[in-house]
Amino acid sequence: MERFLKIIVSGLDNAGKTSILTAMDKKYDFEKDIVQLKPTIRIEYHKMNFLTNNAVIWDMGGQETYRDIYVNYQDVYFDATDLLIYVIDIQDPERFDNSLEYLNAILSFFEKSEMSVPIIITFHKYDPELKADIEILANISRLRENILDSYPNFNILFQQSSIYDIISIIQLVSYGLSVFDKKFFQLSELLEYYLEIFQSQALIVFDRNGIIISEYYSDINPETYLELLESIKEHLFLLKRMDEEKFEGNFDFTSTEGQLFSYLLRKKINKEMFFVSAVLKDEQKLNFFEKLPDFLDDLVKILEQLI
Ligand SMILES: Nc1nc2c(ncn2[C@@H]2O[C@H](COP(=O)(O)OP(=O)(O)O)[C@@H](O)[C@H]2O)c(=O)[nH]1
Ligand SMILES: [Mg+2]
């Protein structure tokens, strides 16, 4: 039987929940369903496939009336939750307390019901131009510490996201799904190890839908990072096309700046298609191709267990 994972996206109204899901819909062609439960209650469902899992994502309204309903009928809404993604608008400090209260209502229910639900808290609207904003960064670390202190028994991952930073949205999806299988950690370790060996800036493994299964980046300065984002976006577009056109083979090209060289490789394992993207400096090319077969061998060993 097919198993559907239940993922809940929650947070105050205006936090950006629907925008995050809309950004994902566009990228991954999610199927969308809207269920009108009562005139006042409208929940949007987004369905997606990831490797062997199917997930249903619930977009929970965040207005006060909704919040009251969810809190009063917690078992109806939060029962059997596999993952909670909680969205906090990092540009709205006046509502931090309000948001923490709502988070507390949900987590208290999980605690009371003895549900160990993994949680991802994303500090959203962390737009690219805010990456060096001292106040925003201070608020993020304050909220983070506050939440970690308050809920020592929960497994909480923190993230920053913005709809103007598509990679952060992709990361949110990947982190969300990686919560479900420990092998994703092995994969991440493998990428970290080979990033060093290749002396590369980024190593990313995508599934056939362009969802990042795992990724690793080196410490890079913001300018390089932006350049990297551009080239990866190109990659994502390309691999989608490669899939559509049943194109056979690999792609390699140099980024516009001529500094970084990105390589995209398609790998079929059993019946599943994967894509590997590596971004590195031109002078590391030879070294990369020399060590690539070892990397692919190790990679296949882990991916085989995931499908
Ligand atoms: N600056 C910025 N605005 C955002 C971002 N995500 C959403 N918004 C804006 O925030 C507002 C509320 O978004 P919405 O998705 O409707 O929030 P929801 O009530 O949580 O579903 C809208 O005006 C969005 O355009 C973001 O990453 N950065
Ligand atoms: Mg909404």
CB atoms within 10 A of CB 76: 11
* Residue 268, helix vs strand vs coil: strand
**Residue to mutate (ligand 1; options 19, 126, 131, 133; most atoms within 8 A of CB):** 19
State the Cα–Cα distance between residues 8 and 26, nearest whole angstrom: 19
Ligand nearest to C-alpha 88 = 1
User: How far is ligand 2, taken at its centre, from the CA of residue 163, in Å?
Assistant: 14
Residue 281 CB-half CA count within 13 A: 7
pLDDT at 197: 96
Q: What is the pLDDT of residues 145-173, one digit of tens each?
A: 999 999 998 888 899 999 888 778 877 87
Per domain, the residue ranges of the chain are 4-178, 183-306
In this structure, which amino acid lies at residue 90? I
Q: How far is the CA of 167 from the centre of ligand 1 (A)?
A: 17
- Cα–Cα distance measured from residue 177 to residue 55, given in angstroms and rounded to the nearest whole number: 9
| 280/195 Cα distance (integer angstroms) | 9
Question: Most confidently modeled of 43-47, 168-172, 258-262, 279-283?
Answer: 279-283
Report pLDDT digits (tens) over 174-192.
777 777 777 877 888 899 8
For residues 204-230, average pLDDT: 73
State the closest ligand 1 atom to the C-alpha of 15, by its place in the atom list counted from 1: 20
**If one looks up domain 183-306 in CATH, what number appears?**
3.30.450.30
**pLDDT of 131:** 87
Residue range 93-107, pLDDT digits in tens: 999 999 999 999 999
- 4-178 sits in which CATH class? alpha beta
Side chain identity at residue 170, one-letter code: I
Q: At what angle do helices 166-178 and 17-28 cross, to 10 degrees?
A: 90
Within 10 A of 80 (CB to CB), how many other CB atoms are there?
11
DSSP 175: H
pLDDT level of residue 288 (50, 70, 90 thresholds): very high
